[in-house]
Amino acid sequence: MNNITKIFLVLNSGSSSEKFSLYEGEDEVCSLYFEGIEEGGKKKFICTVSKADGSEERVNKTWDDLSTAFVEAKAIFEKEGFINEAHPLDGILVRTPAAGKYFSEHHIVDDETYAELEKAKLTYPLHVPGAIRGIKNAQAAFPGIPVLTLSDSEALTRDTRKDSKYALPKDIIEKYDLGRWGAHGSSYGFIRDRIKALGIEAPKMVVCHLGSGCSATAFENGEPVYTSMGETPLEGLMSSTRTGSIDPTVGALLGEELGAAEAIKVLIKQSGLQAMTGSNDMREVIAGAEEGVPECIEAYNMFIDGVAGKIGEFAAKLGGIDAIVFTATIGERSIPVRGSIISKLEFMGFKIDTEVKVDRSAGYTNIATAESKPIYVIATNEAAYMIKKAGELLDSQK
């Protein structure tokens, strides 16, 4: 069976939410979002149904327990006719919020998966419990349907990487399975494949994934060589609510004072643009900077310096860069951010043509001037990459 005919349910389990996205091939046909609200002084959960035609509808019902979301989701998909005997579900996909040798590959969930997730709680105490809950509930609600964990570092786990090690004692690395695994791998895998398919691959390229989470990866001859994120997505660039790279002593002190899980929560969810400006939305930060708000100006400049500096670092390591790619929400949509970053890199031969408009339907847009090296804007599609890999994994088991 070809991947395009498969029906996958992509699961995103948050600490107090569940999102179910149903795909036929690479096309999202329907999504359900269960989120918590306050009702009568008690926490309740509501569901919003979004369809491919852009319509949205809130289900006229509330639930007391988020775990019931799976049974309800199954009933809604069946009622709407998206899942039935003629269109059975082929698999449930869970993006794995964990790193390490095991999670640098994709897996069909089994007992070993659960054991590895338990180990991963050490470095991912905020995200792994939600993934475990989601997997267990999915197996209970959809018995007999394979549940797959999709690695967020697989596309970056290559022998070509020159920055995958930490300068730590070998016994500590082995005991805790530490390494610079990277993240946003589903995005980088999609963009890498897209670049090759479009015929615009250059020998040395830097892809900047700039969204609510931000990272950058350097590719040489189509393979990843350096990436900004490490054992967890905290390393590297500052983003909406993450600190980015920080003196490890700060993390250790916060851990001593607050406890490890709470310290990680501060660094992941309460820092970055949010901490500096009170907003985690780059559009609001830019508006504040334009109005002269000092905190917004400082945060914006720090963000731009971080991305431009990382590109410069990669250029030094690669011995130059032939092309730059912007992707993800900010990278694809923010003209000011792209312009500010590239303005710092004109000495490297990059310059934006401000008259070029990004055409999101064209596959890619080169926003560089005629004399500049290419600067591409390419829309990412992480779900498409996950679905491709899930189809390959299931087919390999036949």
List, in order of start, the domains of the chain with CATH numbers.
3-151 (3.30.420.40), 200-382 (3.30.420.40)
Which amino acids are annotated catalytic? 152
The Cα 335–Cα 310 span in angstroms is 19
Do residues 107 and 131 lie in contact, with contact meaning Cβ atoms separated by under 8 Å?
no
Bridge partners, residue 12, by sequence? 19
Residue among 14, 12, 80 at smallest CA distance from 51: 80
- pLDDT (tens digit, 0 to 9) for every residue of the chain, 398 residues total? 344 579 999 998 776 788 999 999 888 999 999 998 887 788 889 999 999 888 999 998 888 888 888 999 999 999 988 998 888 899 999 988 788 999 999 999 999 999 999 999 988 988 898 889 889 999 999 999 999 999 999 999 999 999 999 999 999 999 999 999 999 999 999 999 999 999 999 999 999 999 999 999 999 999 999 999 999 999 999 999 999 999 999 999 999 999 999 999 999 999 999 999 999 999 999 999 999 999 999 999 999 999 999 999 999 999 999 999 999 999 999 999 999 999 999 999 999 999 999 988 788 999 999 999 999 999 999 999 999 999 999 999 87
**127's tokens:** 């995200």
Beta bridge partners, 36, equal 45
- Whole-number pLDDT of residue 2: 45
Determine the straight-line distance between the first and last CA of the chain, rounded to whole angstroms.
10
Strand ranges for the chain from DSSP E: 7-13, 17-24, 27-39, 42-51, 56-58, 91-96, 107-108, 147-151, 204-210, 214-220, 223-227, 323-327, 365-366, 375-377
Collapsed DSSP state (helix, strand, coil) of residue 7: strand
